[in-house]
């Protein structure tokens, strides 16, 4: 039992055990629950810090547990998993603080925070999964852990949204499962290896591999909300704001996108996948999704729905970066995994604040919110500008590298129009919101009715998280070239994937 074979397990347990303990707490034990939550999140953060340092210095961390003969549950740290683990750990901590403030007096908090911790456990498990089997296990586990969160309010709409979510994700999970089982019968244990494993297996029939790729991508595409598999995402908006924030930034959609990255780079190998021709398919799906999501976002008046369609669009940048062969596009896709998370969580925190403080749920009600809630609106503005891709916010860096990568690989002809078009569309659905918020005339009475009499515009636990994540989004763009920045880390991954 040394650190090198226990660290991944400890990282998993640092949210699993507090989560299980929280289930047993009574509703009233507010302090103990908060302490457990924050303790778990902080321990995880420290452990992940150790892991970042170690992986940078080429340490090997692996926990292995034999579930059945030939089926190992493997938790393994490599540069890519560390990228995702750090994102989820950091944002989990922030979202926990936010959720504690958000759910202050609502019922079933023990249940909520219990599943919340399980959800993060599943995400971290996905990030650390060392083979496709382990990935499938945590992928299904994530579905189970998020269902109660989506259904949390218990209203008929919430139950319905959760049911739709479940129908999509279970069906997707089944496609992934069949693909994984099939591939395993052909190619053995399917450990994730940088550079892929299938390229060296000449005996495999290319058409079989194409069909399996399709099954895997359909399974992952449901969570990644690739069109036409995205139908659950706008329905899942009924969840409480912290859940939406986590779902859109870290947990569910990211799990799908991360899985696509894993399958392309570490199972098929990006060059082998390109030679099979399947990357073109993935690229086309991503391009369609990017444009479609943006177009749909334009017409949504409900703020959270507009953000949801924006997620549909933005997450596919990751798939797009994956589908373009070449290290620069890889960097763009990988770094967007982090950038999109930080920016989108900011936007959802802000949307939650508007709903909580003012009862504002619709874009058309947002006139003058900037004057009433300047801090929240500042954070929202930074996030929105980042989504459009305006420098120096992080989103610009992602798009820049995607564009460079497209030029490098010769795919510029179709990628650049997609990038430009989607940026214009992003501007078209975000800028009017910003204009309304800052320059619109605030109504005499907000829809929520109740007036807030405090020093701050809203409870501090709700104010600081969006400001912090907005700051991160800004910093990730401003200091993109600093060591350990998301961009530098994405470069490290690309170097290792392409063995540069």
Partner 1 sequence: MNNLLALPVVLPLLGSLLALVWPRRADWAGLGASVAAFVAAGHIGAEVMRNATLELAVGGWAPGLGIALRADGLSASLLLMSTLVALAAGLYATTYFAEAQKRADFWPLWLLMITALHALLLSGDLFNIYVTLELLGLAAVALAALGGSRAALQAAVRYLTVGLLGSLAFLTGVGLIYAGYGTLDMVMLAGRVDAEPATWVALALMTAGLLIKSALFPMHFWLPSAHANAPAPVSAALSALVVKAAFYLVLRLWLDVFDVALSQASAGLLGLLGASAVIWGSWQAYRAERLKLLAAYSTVAQIGYLFLFIPVLLATEPGEARDLLFGALVLFALTHGFSKSAFFLGAGVILHRAGHDRIAELGGTARALPVTTFVLALAGIALIGLPPSGTFLAKWQLMTSAIAAGQWLWIPVIAIGTLLAGAYVFRVLGHAFGPGEGVGPSLAWARAELPALLLALVATAVLGLGAAQVWTMVVPGSNAEGVSL
Choose the binding region for partner 1 from 64-72, 270-278, 323-331, 436-444 (rule: CB under 8 A): 64-72
Distance between CA atoms of 419 and 326, rounded to whole angstroms? 17
Which residue's CB is nearer to partner 1, number 6 or number 409? 6
Distance between CA atoms of 297 and 245, rounded to whole angstroms? 17
Site string for partner 1, 106-125 (x = CB under 8 A): -xx--x--------------
Cα angle value 320/259/196 (rounded, 5°): 85
Among 30, 38, 64, 199, contact with partner 1 (rule: CB under 8 A): 64
- The answer to the question of residue 29 lying near partner 1 (CB under 8 A) is no
Q: How far apart are CB 173 and partner 1 at their closest, in Å?
A: 8
Which residue's CB is nearer to partner 1, number 9 or number 474? 9
212 and 184 Cβ atoms separated by less than 8 Å: no
In sequence order, what are the beta bridge partners of 131?
191
Alpha helices of 236-277 — where are they, by DSSP H?
Answer: 241-249, 252-262, 270-276
Site string for partner 1, 156-195 (x = CB under 8 A): x--x--xx--xx--xx-xx--xx--xx-xx----------
Distance between CA atoms of 226 and 301, rounded to whole angstroms? 22
Phi, psi of 190 (to 5 degrees): 60, 40
For the segment 419-478, give every residue that binds partner 1 (CB under 8 A): none
Among 49, 154, 206, 447, contact with partner 1 (rule: CB under 8 A): 154
Among 57, 68, 205, 207, contact with partner 1 (rule: CB under 8 A): 68
For the segment 378-397, give every residue that binds partner 1 (CB under 8 A): none
Q: How far apart are CB 255 and partner 1 at their closest, in Å?
A: 14
Q: How far apart are CB 411 and partner 1 at their closest, in Å?
A: 35
Choose the binding region for partner 1 from 61-69, 228-236, 263-271, 470-478 (rule: CB under 8 A): 61-69
Residue tagged 């999970």 (tokens): 173
Distance between CA atoms of 257 and 176, rounded to whole angstroms? 13
Q: How far apart are CB 51 and partner 1 at their closest, in Å?
A: 17
Phi, psi of 480 (to 5 degrees): -60, -30
Residues in CB range of 188: below 8 A, 6 or more apart? none
184 and 133 Cβ atoms separated by less than 8 Å: yes
Q: How far apart are CB 43 and partner 1 at their closest, in Å?
A: 19
């Amino acid at each position: 039992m040394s650190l090198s074979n226990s660290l991944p397990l400890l990282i998993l347990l640092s949210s699993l055990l507090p989560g299980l303990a929280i289930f047993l707490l009574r509703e009233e034990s507010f302090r103990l629950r908060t302490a457990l939550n924050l303790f778990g999140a902080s321990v995880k953060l420290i452990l992940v810090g150790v892991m970042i340092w170690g992986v940078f210095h080429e340490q090997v961390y692996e926990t292995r547990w034999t579930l059945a003969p030939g089926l190992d549950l493997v938790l393994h740290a490599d540069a890519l998993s560390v990228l995702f683990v750090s994102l989820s750990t950091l944002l989990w901590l922030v979202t926990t603080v936010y959720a504690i403030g958000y759910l202050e007096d609502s019922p079933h908090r023990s249940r909520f925070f219990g599943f919340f911790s399980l959800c993060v456990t599943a995400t971290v498990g996905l990030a650390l999964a060392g083979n496709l089997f382990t990935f499938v296990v945590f992928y299904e586990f994530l579905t189970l852990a998020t269902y109660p969160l989506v259904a949390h309010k218990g209203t008929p709409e919430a139950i319905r949204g959760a049911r739709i979510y479940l129908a999509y994700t279970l069906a997707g999970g089944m496609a992934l499962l069949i693909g994984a089982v099939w591939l395993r019968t052909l190619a053995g244990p399917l450990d994730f290896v940088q550079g892929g494993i299938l390229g060296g297996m000449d005996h495999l029939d290319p058409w079989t591999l194409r069909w399996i790729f399709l099954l895997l991508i359909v399974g992952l595409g449901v969570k990644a909300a690739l069109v036409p598999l995205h139908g659950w995402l706008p329905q899942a908006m009924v969840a409480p704001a912290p859940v939406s924030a986590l779902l859109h930034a870290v947990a569910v959609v990211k799990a799908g996108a991360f899985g696509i990255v894993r399958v392309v780079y570490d199972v098929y190998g990006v060059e082998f996948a390109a030679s099979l021709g399947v990357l073109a398919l993935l690229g086309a799906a991503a391009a369609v999704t990017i444009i479609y999501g943006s177009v749909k976002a334009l017409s949504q008046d409900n703020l959270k729905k507009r953000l949801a369609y924006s997620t549909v669009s933005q997450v596919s940048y990751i798939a797009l970066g994956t589908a373009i062969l070449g290290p620069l596009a890889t960097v763009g896709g990988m770094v967007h995994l982090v950038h999109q998370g930080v920016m989108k969580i900011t936007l959802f925190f802000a949307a939650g604040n508007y709903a909580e403080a003012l009862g504002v749920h619709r874009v058309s009600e947002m006139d003058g919110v900037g004057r009433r809630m300047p801090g929240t609106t500042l954070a929202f503005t930074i996030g929105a500008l980042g989504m459009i891709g305006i420098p120096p916010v992080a989103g610009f860096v992602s798009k820049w590298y995607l564009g460079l990568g497209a030029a490098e690989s010769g795919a510029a002809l179709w990628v650049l129009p997609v990038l430009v078009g989607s940026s214009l569309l992003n501007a078209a659905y975000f800028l009017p919101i910003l204009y309304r918020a800052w320059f619109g005339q605030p109504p005499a009475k907000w829809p929520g009715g109740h007036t807030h009499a405090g020093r701050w515009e809203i409870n501090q636990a709700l104010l600081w998280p969006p400001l912090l994540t907005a700051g991160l989004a800004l910093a990730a763009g401003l200091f993109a070239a600093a060591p350990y920045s998301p961009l530098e880390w994405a470069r490290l991954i690309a170097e290792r994937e392409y063995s540069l």
